[in-house]
Protein backbone atom coordinates (compact mmCIF):
# COMPACT_ATOMS: atom_id res chain seq x y z
CA UNK A 1 0.00 0.00 0.00
CA UNK A 2 2.85 2.37 0.86
CA UNK A 3 4.34 1.79 -2.60
CA UNK A 4 0.97 2.51 -4.25
CA UNK A 5 0.60 5.73 -2.28
CA UNK A 6 4.14 6.81 -3.16
CA UNK A 7 3.54 6.17 -6.86
CA UNK A 8 0.29 8.14 -6.65
CA UNK A 9 2.07 11.11 -5.05
CA UNK A 10 4.80 10.93 -7.71
CA UNK A 11 2.06 10.96 -10.37
CA UNK A 12 0.45 13.98 -8.69
CA UNK A 13 3.76 15.89 -8.77
CA UNK A 14 4.21 15.09 -12.48
CA UNK A 15 0.64 16.30 -13.09
CA UNK A 16 1.40 19.58 -11.30
CA UNK A 17 4.56 20.19 -13.32
CA UNK A 18 2.83 19.48 -16.63
CA UNK A 19 -0.46 21.30 -15.96
CA UNK A 20 0.26 24.12 -13.49
CA UNK A 21 -0.56 26.66 -16.20
CA UNK A 22 -4.15 25.41 -16.25
CA UNK A 23 -6.86 26.44 -13.78
CA UNK A 24 -5.94 23.36 -11.77
CA UNK A 25 -7.53 22.63 -8.39
CA UNK A 26 -6.50 20.19 -5.68
CA UNK A 27 -9.87 18.47 -6.01
CA UNK A 28 -9.17 17.78 -9.70
CA UNK A 29 -5.64 16.58 -8.92
CA UNK A 30 -6.95 14.26 -6.20
CA UNK A 31 -9.65 12.83 -8.47
CA UNK A 32 -7.13 12.16 -11.24
CA UNK A 33 -4.99 10.24 -8.73
CA UNK A 34 -8.00 8.29 -7.39
CA UNK A 35 -7.95 9.94 -3.95
CA UNK A 36 -10.26 12.13 -1.94
CA UNK A 37 -8.88 15.62 -1.33
CA UNK A 38 -8.42 14.84 2.37
CA UNK A 39 -6.58 11.56 1.71
CA UNK A 40 -4.32 13.12 -0.92
CA UNK A 41 -3.47 16.10 1.29
CA UNK A 42 -2.63 13.84 4.23
CA UNK A 43 -0.45 11.41 2.27
CA UNK A 44 1.20 14.11 0.14
CA UNK A 45 2.10 16.18 3.21
CA UNK A 46 3.40 13.11 5.00
CA UNK A 47 5.71 12.17 2.12
CA UNK A 48 6.76 15.58 0.79
CA UNK A 49 6.59 17.73 3.92
CA UNK A 50 4.29 20.40 2.48
CA UNK A 51 0.65 20.35 1.38
CA UNK A 52 -0.20 19.78 -2.31
CA UNK A 53 -1.71 23.27 -2.45
CA UNK A 54 1.52 24.87 -1.23
CA UNK A 55 3.64 22.71 -3.54
CA UNK A 56 1.54 23.68 -6.57
CA UNK A 57 1.70 27.33 -5.57
CA UNK A 58 5.50 27.21 -5.32
CA UNK A 59 5.74 25.70 -8.82
CA UNK A 60 3.51 28.43 -10.21
CA UNK A 61 5.42 31.23 -8.52
CA UNK A 62 8.77 29.98 -9.79
CA UNK A 63 7.41 30.40 -13.32
CA UNK A 64 5.81 33.74 -12.39
CA UNK A 65 9.14 35.04 -11.07
CA UNK A 66 10.85 34.01 -14.29
CA UNK A 67 8.23 35.77 -16.39
CA UNK A 68 8.36 38.90 -14.24
CA UNK A 69 12.13 39.06 -14.65
CA UNK A 70 12.46 38.01 -18.29
CA UNK A 71 9.24 38.78 -20.18
CA UNK A 72 7.25 41.85 -21.15
CA UNK A 73 3.92 40.35 -20.06
CA UNK A 74 1.84 42.45 -17.69
CA UNK A 75 0.75 41.19 -14.26
CA UNK A 76 -2.68 40.06 -15.45
CA UNK A 77 -1.17 38.09 -18.34
CA UNK A 78 1.35 36.43 -16.05
CA UNK A 79 -1.38 35.63 -13.54
CA UNK A 80 -3.41 33.76 -16.16
CA UNK A 81 -0.29 32.15 -17.67
CA UNK A 82 0.55 30.43 -14.36
CA UNK A 83 -2.98 29.22 -13.69
CA UNK A 84 -4.73 31.97 -11.71
CA UNK A 85 -8.15 33.18 -12.83
CA UNK A 86 -8.07 36.10 -10.38
CA UNK A 87 -5.30 38.70 -10.59
CA UNK A 88 -6.08 39.81 -7.04
CA UNK A 89 -5.65 36.29 -5.67
CA UNK A 90 -2.42 35.84 -7.61
CA UNK A 91 -0.97 39.13 -6.33
CA UNK A 92 -2.01 38.43 -2.72
CA UNK A 93 -0.58 34.90 -2.73
CA UNK A 94 2.59 36.02 -4.51
CA UNK A 95 3.25 38.63 -1.83
CA UNK A 96 2.54 36.10 0.91
CA UNK A 97 5.06 33.67 -0.57
CA UNK A 98 7.84 36.07 -1.66
CA UNK A 99 7.35 39.07 0.62
CA UNK A 100 6.74 41.54 -2.24
CA UNK A 101 4.01 42.21 -4.79
CA UNK A 102 4.53 41.05 -8.40
CA UNK A 103 5.12 44.62 -9.60
CA UNK A 104 7.61 45.28 -6.79
CA UNK A 105 9.40 42.02 -7.59
CA UNK A 106 9.74 43.09 -11.22
CA UNK A 107 11.17 46.45 -10.16
CA UNK A 108 13.57 44.81 -7.72
CA UNK A 109 14.86 42.37 -10.35
CA UNK A 110 15.35 45.14 -12.90
CA UNK A 111 17.34 47.33 -10.49
CA UNK A 112 20.79 46.97 -9.00
CA UNK A 113 20.51 44.34 -6.20
CA UNK A 114 21.83 46.65 -3.49
CA UNK A 115 19.64 49.57 -4.56
CA UNK A 116 16.66 47.24 -4.81
CA UNK A 117 17.15 46.03 -1.27
CA UNK A 118 17.31 49.63 -0.12
CA UNK A 119 14.01 50.40 -1.88
CA UNK A 120 12.43 47.38 -0.21
CA UNK A 121 13.61 48.56 3.19
CA UNK A 122 12.24 52.07 2.68
CA UNK A 123 8.93 50.78 1.34
CA UNK A 124 8.19 48.25 4.12
CA UNK A 125 10.53 49.01 7.01
CA UNK A 126 11.74 45.40 6.85
CA UNK A 127 15.48 45.00 6.11
CA UNK A 128 16.48 42.32 3.64
CA UNK A 129 19.75 40.98 2.31
CA UNK A 130 21.25 43.17 -0.46
CA UNK A 131 21.33 40.15 -2.79
CA UNK A 132 19.48 36.83 -3.17
CA UNK A 133 20.49 33.78 -1.16
CA UNK A 134 22.08 31.25 -3.52
CA UNK A 135 22.59 27.61 -2.74
CA UNK A 136 22.98 24.11 -4.09
CA UNK A 137 21.20 20.90 -3.12
CA UNK A 138 23.27 17.72 -3.38
CA UNK A 139 21.81 14.21 -3.31
CA UNK A 140 23.01 10.61 -3.70
CA UNK A 141 23.52 9.83 -7.38
CA UNK A 142 20.58 7.42 -7.49
CA UNK A 143 18.26 10.19 -6.28
CA UNK A 144 19.20 12.76 -8.94
CA UNK A 145 15.75 12.63 -10.59
CA UNK A 146 13.92 13.76 -7.45
CA UNK A 147 11.84 16.90 -7.11
CA UNK A 148 13.12 19.06 -4.23
CA UNK A 149 11.27 21.51 -1.99
CA UNK A 150 13.52 24.17 -0.39
CA UNK A 151 12.27 26.44 2.37
CA UNK A 152 13.64 29.07 4.74
CA UNK A 153 12.56 28.57 8.36
CA UNK A 154 13.34 30.18 11.74
CA UNK A 155 13.88 26.76 13.36
CA UNK A 156 15.98 23.68 12.44
CA UNK A 157 12.77 21.84 11.51
CA UNK A 158 9.98 23.24 9.28
CA UNK A 159 7.49 24.32 11.90
CA UNK A 160 4.85 26.65 10.46
CA UNK A 161 5.13 28.28 7.04
CA UNK A 162 8.43 28.90 5.26
CA UNK A 163 9.56 32.53 5.10
CA UNK A 164 10.71 31.93 1.54
CA UNK A 165 10.46 28.78 -0.56
CA UNK A 166 11.05 27.30 -3.99
CA UNK A 167 10.61 23.99 -5.83
CA UNK A 168 13.38 22.45 -7.95
CA UNK A 169 12.73 19.81 -10.64
CA UNK A 170 15.80 17.97 -9.35
CA UNK A 171 18.71 18.54 -6.92
CA UNK A 172 20.85 21.47 -8.00
CA UNK A 173 21.12 25.24 -7.72
CA UNK A 174 18.42 27.35 -6.08
CA UNK A 175 17.82 31.03 -5.37
CA UNK A 176 15.73 32.63 -2.60
CA UNK A 177 14.96 36.33 -3.20
CA UNK A 178 14.39 39.20 -0.73
CA UNK A 179 15.45 37.18 2.30
CA UNK A 180 14.72 39.07 5.55
CA UNK A 181 17.54 39.77 7.97
CA UNK A 182 17.88 37.43 10.93
CA UNK A 183 18.97 33.87 11.70
CA UNK A 184 17.42 31.22 9.47
CA UNK A 185 17.62 27.55 8.57
CA UNK A 186 17.47 26.44 4.93
CA UNK A 187 15.73 23.06 4.79
CA UNK A 188 15.21 20.76 1.81
CA UNK A 189 13.09 17.68 1.13
CA UNK A 190 13.11 15.47 -1.96
CA UNK A 191 10.90 12.86 -3.60
CA UNK A 192 12.16 10.49 -6.28
CA UNK A 193 10.06 10.51 -9.45
CA UNK A 194 11.28 7.84 -11.88
CA UNK A 195 14.23 5.61 -12.59
CA UNK A 196 16.40 6.06 -15.68
CA UNK A 197 14.36 3.28 -17.32
CA UNK A 198 11.20 5.35 -16.92
CA UNK A 199 9.59 3.02 -14.39
CA UNK A 200 8.18 4.29 -11.07
CA UNK A 201 10.98 4.26 -8.52
CA UNK A 202 10.71 3.10 -4.95
CA UNK A 203 10.58 6.24 -2.84
CA UNK A 204 13.57 6.85 -0.60
CA UNK A 205 12.87 9.99 1.47
CA UNK A 206 15.78 12.41 1.69
CA UNK A 207 16.07 15.57 3.75
CA UNK A 208 18.79 18.07 4.54
CA UNK A 209 19.46 21.49 5.91
CA UNK A 210 21.89 24.34 6.40
CA UNK A 211 21.89 26.67 9.37
CA UNK A 212 21.62 28.59 11.36
CA UNK A 213 22.75 31.22 8.89
CA UNK A 214 22.76 34.92 9.66
CA UNK A 215 21.33 37.28 7.06
CA UNK A 216 22.47 40.91 7.38
CA UNK A 217 21.39 44.03 5.51
CA UNK A 218 24.95 45.26 4.87
CA UNK A 219 26.44 42.34 2.94
CA UNK A 220 25.35 39.62 0.54
CA UNK A 221 24.64 36.21 2.10
CA UNK A 222 27.17 33.44 1.61
CA UNK A 223 26.06 30.56 -0.65
CA UNK A 224 24.85 27.46 1.18
CA UNK A 225 25.19 23.78 0.32
CA UNK A 226 22.53 21.29 1.42
CA UNK A 227 23.39 17.59 1.34
CA UNK A 228 20.32 15.39 1.34
CA UNK A 229 20.38 12.20 3.40
CA UNK A 230 18.01 9.27 3.71
CA UNK A 231 15.78 9.05 6.77
CA UNK A 232 13.06 6.70 7.94
CA UNK A 233 9.42 7.45 7.22
CA UNK A 234 8.84 7.88 10.97
CA UNK A 235 11.55 10.56 11.14
CA UNK A 236 9.87 12.46 8.32
CA UNK A 237 7.13 13.53 10.71
CA UNK A 238 9.61 16.08 12.07
CA UNK A 239 9.68 17.62 8.59
CA UNK A 240 5.92 18.02 8.25
CA UNK A 241 4.70 21.56 7.48
CA UNK A 242 1.13 22.31 8.62
CA UNK A 243 -1.53 23.09 6.03
CA UNK A 244 -1.76 26.82 5.41
CA UNK A 245 -4.99 28.42 6.71
CA UNK A 246 -7.75 28.88 4.19
CA UNK A 247 -9.27 32.33 3.63
CA UNK A 248 -12.59 32.86 5.37
Cα dihedral sign for 142, 144, 148, 151?
Answer: positive
Q: For residues 218-222, give the mean pLDDT.
A: 88
CATH number of the domain where residue 67 is located:
1.10.10.60
Is 108 a domain residue? yes
What is the model's pLDDT at position 119?
A: 44
Q: What is the dihedral of CA 247, 67, 217, 159, to 10 degrees?
A: 40
Q: Which of 2-6, 47-51, 118-122, 152-156 has the lowest mean pLDDT?
A: 118-122
What is the model's pLDDT at position 129?
A: 86
Is 244 a domain residue? no
Tell me the HSE value of 11 on the side-chain side, using a 13 A CA sphere: 17
Is 247 a domain residue? no
Is 111 a domain residue? yes
Q: For residues 78-107, give the mean pLDDT.
A: 87
Residue 200 clears pLDDT 80, i.e. is over it = no
Question: What residue numbers bound the domain in which 141 lies?
Answer: 2-239
Exposed/middle/buried for residue 72 (C-beta within 10 Å: 0-12, 13-18, 19+): exposed
Is 188 a domain residue? yes
DSSP 141: G
- pTM, two decimals, is 0.54
How confident is the prediction for the chain on average, in pLDDT? 76
Is 203 a domain residue? yes
What is the model's pLDDT at position 192?
A: 59
What is the model's pLDDT at position 94?
A: 86
Q: Which of 27-31, 46-50, 182-186, 223-227 has the lowest mean pLDDT?
A: 46-50
Nearest in space to 103 (alpha carbons), one of 81, 76, 129: 76
Q: What percent of the chain has pLDDT over 70?
A: 74
Is 144 a domain residue? yes
Nearest in space to 156 (alpha carbons), one of 79, 213, 233: 213
Q: CA 174 to CA 69: how far, in whole Å?
A: 16
Return all residues near 99 (Cβ < 8 A) that are at least 6 apart.
126, 128, 163, 164, 178, 180
> What would the pLDDT profile of 118-173 be if each residue is shown by its tens digit?
444 444 456 888 889 999 998 876 555 577 888 888 877 665 567 888 888 888 89
Return all residues near 85 (Cβ < 8 A) that are at least 6 apart.
23
Domain count, the chain: 1
Is 248 a domain residue? no
Spell out the long-range contacts of 63-68 with Cβ–Cβ below 8 A and sequence spacing 24 or more: 63/20, 63/21, 64/90, 64/94, 64/102, 65/98, 65/105, 65/109, 65/177, 68/102, 68/105, 68/106, 68/109
What is the model's pLDDT at position 61?
A: 86
> What would the pLDDT profile of 10-39 be if each residue is shown by its tens digit?
788 888 888 888 888 888 888 888 888 888
Amino acid sequence: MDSAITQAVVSVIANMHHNFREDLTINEIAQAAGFSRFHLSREFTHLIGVSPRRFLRAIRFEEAKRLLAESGLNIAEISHTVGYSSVGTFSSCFKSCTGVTPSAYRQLRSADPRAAAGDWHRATGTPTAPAPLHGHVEAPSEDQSGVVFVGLFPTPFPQGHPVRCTVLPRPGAFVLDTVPTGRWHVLARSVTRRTHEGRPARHTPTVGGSGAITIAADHAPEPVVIRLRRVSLAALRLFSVPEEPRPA
